[in-house]
Homo-oligomer: A and B are copies of this chain.
């Protein structure tokens, strides 16, 4: 590997000059710069990132905190792949890379000094690598770790969960508004007995989508019936049991808004098992627009999130803080617009 010293020597200049050619090109005279650049190309020179990070104290990597340990159960993030694509390509554009933080007991305990406050070792890794910032994906059980990051002063962007700290912000969909779109659509189809299968109230999307549901009904002058509000946990099974309960009500709803597509799929199966046809007997609208939404029978009408937009927005927020330096203002939380995708499960589909 060519080093900066060799390059400098061959160009007949000092190391400092070579370094400047790549970092502050304007401070080098055009002809020197050109000579160095040509030689660099010829030798296929690449500055070593570790050396650079060591010298500057800041790496060109952003950490991704995504706890996989809880995922043994088979739960999957609904759109991790899109999120990663968005994240990666946006970071890429700034010359940054994404480091997936390995965590878990195994990784942690073989290291020097496992800290009690950081049981799974996230913060540990971040410190060791001088990461430029972190992106947090909620796994539902990392609240403590997230708080640690948010307070640490490191640029920090969370996905779908509110965090608070000096340089912390987050990205969500316009959950309330999205829920409103769904409910208004059902209202527009003439439904008045509209139930919801909500997400957990302690999660941001769960709470906001429920609020949006309530607001939309209120706005239309339709009273909210508490027996029409079932709470699920975003998993499929919870949608299934919630739907069963709703259909068993003395006066069952004619339409259901499920706050997540996985739950909507569960609800669909429950309806089928109860001999209840969708959308004829009960209309159904979901939220997320995951891949299977288009494949189930009937295809699910749902509120689509801008999946790769999450990644792009998160990257943008991190980069703004990183490149702006400590003085830069922390970006405001981002709310991504949602889109209602009308398919068959709501009974409003155009004839095919």
Residues of chain A touching chain B, judged by Cβ–Cβ distance below 8 Å, are 1, 22, 40-41, 44-51, 53-54, 59, 61, 64, 68-69, 71, 76-77, 80-82, 84-85, 88-89, 91-104, 106-107, 110-113, 115, 124-125, 127-130, 265, 291-292, 295-297
Contacts and interface: CB of A to CB of B under 8 A. Distances in A.
Contact of A41 (B76, B113, B295): B113
B98 A97 contact: no
Nearest to A42: B113
Contacts of A115: 44
Given A92-B104, A265-B295, 20 more contacts: A45-B113, A46-B128, A47-B112, A48-B128, A50-B50, A71-B85, A76-B82, A84-B100, A88-B102, A89-B102, A92-B102, A92-B107, A93-B104, A94-B107, A95-B102, A97-B99, A97-B125, A97-B129, A98-B102, A99-B99
A113 B54 contact: no
A113 B80 contact: no
Contacts of A92: 102-104, 106-107
B295 A22 contact: no
A102 B87 CA distance: 10
A76 B128 contact: no
A103 B95 CA distance: 9
Nearest to A93: B106
A93 to B, nearest CB: 4
A189 B295 CA distance: 27
A128 B295 CA distance: 44
B68 A85 contact: yes
A76 B77 CA distance: 14
Nearest to A129: B49
Contacts of A61: 99
A76 B81 contact: yes
A69 B86 CA distance: 10
Contacts of A113: 40-41, 44-46
Contacts of A292: 291-292, 295
Contact of A100 (B47, B54, B98, B291): B98
Contacts of A265: 295
Nearest to A98: B100
Contacts of A102: 88-89, 91-92, 95-98
B50 A59 contact: yes
B68 A88 contact: yes
A124 B141 CA distance: 37
Contacts of A130: 48-50
A251 B115 CA distance: 69
A50 B46 contact: no
A151 to B, nearest CB: 16
Contacts of A93: 104, 106-107
Contacts of A89: 68-69, 102, 104, 106
A88 B100 contact: yes
B88 A81 contact: no
A40 B115 CA distance: 11
A189 to B, nearest CB: 24
Most buried by B among A50, A51, A80, A295: A50
21 contacts: A1-B127, A22-B112, A46-B111, A46-B127, A46-B128, A49-B128, A49-B129, A49-B130, A50-B53, A50-B129, A69-B89, A88-B102, A89-B104, A91-B102, A92-B106, A93-B104, A95-B111, A96-B102, A97-B99, A97-B102, A296-B297
